[in-house]
Structure 1
Amino acid sequence: MAALAWLVIPVVAAVLAALWGGWAARNRTTGDGASLAGYARFREAMERSGGH
């Protein structure tokens, strides 16, 4: 039974590592849309003011 435990421990560790790796590599969305829209509004305001 002790030999079986020594075989199960690495298998469980490999499964946990695979789950963690999948979670760490998940596709995350960034909030670039709102910041790019804000930058576009800033540029338009600067162009209207004449840049002075």
Structure 2
Amino acid sequence: MAVLAWLLIPLFAAVGAAIWGGWASRDRTTGDIAELTGYARFREAMDKTHSGSGPA
């Protein structure tokens, strides 16, 4: 029984490493597109905003 436990420990470690590796290498570009669009709208809004007073 002890031998089985010593064989299962590396097996569980390998399965855990495979799950973590798959999760770490996932494609995360979908969030970047929305963030870049929001940043572009922010820049446009900041370019349009004027205080109304003359030059300082």
What TM-score results when the alignment is normalised by the length of structure 2? 0.58
- Name 2:13's counterpart in structure 1: 13
What TM-score results when the alignment is normalised by the length of structure 1? 0.61
Deviations 1:8-44 (A, max 9, x none): 000000000000011111111312233345557778x
Q: 1:32 aligns with which of 19, 27, 36?
A: 36
Which of structure 1's runs of 4+ aligned residues deviate more than 6 A? 40-43
Identity %: 45
| Structure 2 portions without partners, runs of 5+ | 49-56
RMSD: 2.2
